[in-house]
Amino acid sequence: MAWSAASVIEEQVARIRAQVGSGKVICGLSGGVDSSVAALLVHRAVGDQLTCVFVDHGLMRKHEGEQVIAAFGERFGIPLVAVDAEERFLARLRGVSDPEAKRKAIGAEFIRVFEEEAAQIGDASHLVQGTLYSDVIESGGGTGASTIKSHHNVGGLPEDLSFDLVEPLRTLFKDEVRAVGAELGLDERLVWRQPFPGPGLAIRIVGGEATKERLDLLRDADFILQDEIRQAGLYRDPLAVLLRAARHPHGRRAGRRAHLRLGHRHPRGHLRRRHDRRLGASALRPPRADRGAHDR
């Protein structure tokens, strides 16, 4: 039978209902594609037995926190606990400049906040995670909250929380997760959100601590870039831009060169790349129609 998002939803809803039964479920909703789609699948299966906890650590892109709350709390009506923890995280990051130290500090604080909220919800027996098949591969096929997501997330959750894991995306790749999200009615901006690490903007600030002022400046710059990508019609493409300014030995600029790489990856397929060395806004133009299906 051919793969389809609808069939995945049907299969996973049945699996989740069988696993959870009448138990309470909690989900650490990050606002990323993986946790968002996983939360929607579980809510489709067990309804208000699910409670999502969204920890706004102040390290997200511009307006992302408001988008998550609007989508899940208002549009889908999922029980949602939104925690404004920006001050706690900024205090934890004060004086920290090493990227790995930032990651560990954010992970430790996230665990504390999540534990506090989980205790208030009470008697939840299951924990939802947006584990993908790529996560399983990268973690060597291990299981457990602290094993699967720790390589790219905020550090994983401690095993002593003793939840039964619900991982409805465990056999899917990112392209397939996006297709399932679209089928579930998830907002386009959430479905096609560019990947973003759990520690967020704090890791993007290299060589210094993550202050409120620096984060706001980086948020504004990122917002401009994301807006340009959307206006150019490239928001559904994996995108990497590298700007390099070379100098002659005497200090004179040798010119600037920009590389734009677009990749189109189909479900369970290979990644196809196209290189473009044009400069400026022209480099963000959508592929011409005469380039054929390869670039569409």
Task: Quote the percentage of the chain above a pLDDT of 90.
Answer: 36
CATH placement of domain 5-197: 3.40.50.620
- Whole-number Å distance between alpha carbons of 157 and 131: 13
| Residue 31 confidence class, pLDDT cut points 50, 70, 90 | confident
pLDDT of 273 over the 80 cut: no
pLDDT digits (tens, 9 = 90+) for 184-229: 999 888 888 876 555 567 666 656 788 899 999 888 988 898 888 8
Tell me the average pLDDT across 59-73: 89
Task: Give domain limits for the chain.
Answer: 5-197, 232-295
Mean pLDDT of the residues in the chain = 76
Confidence of residue 295 (pLDDT cuts 50, 70, 90): very low
Q: Does residue 52 or residue 256 have the better pLDDT?
A: 52
Give CB contacts under 8 A, 24+ apart, made by 275-281.
281/228, 281/232
Confidence (pTM): 0.73
Residues 147-159 pLDDT 10s: 434 434 444 455 5
The angle that helices 174-184 and 5-20 make with each other, rounded to 10 degrees, is 80
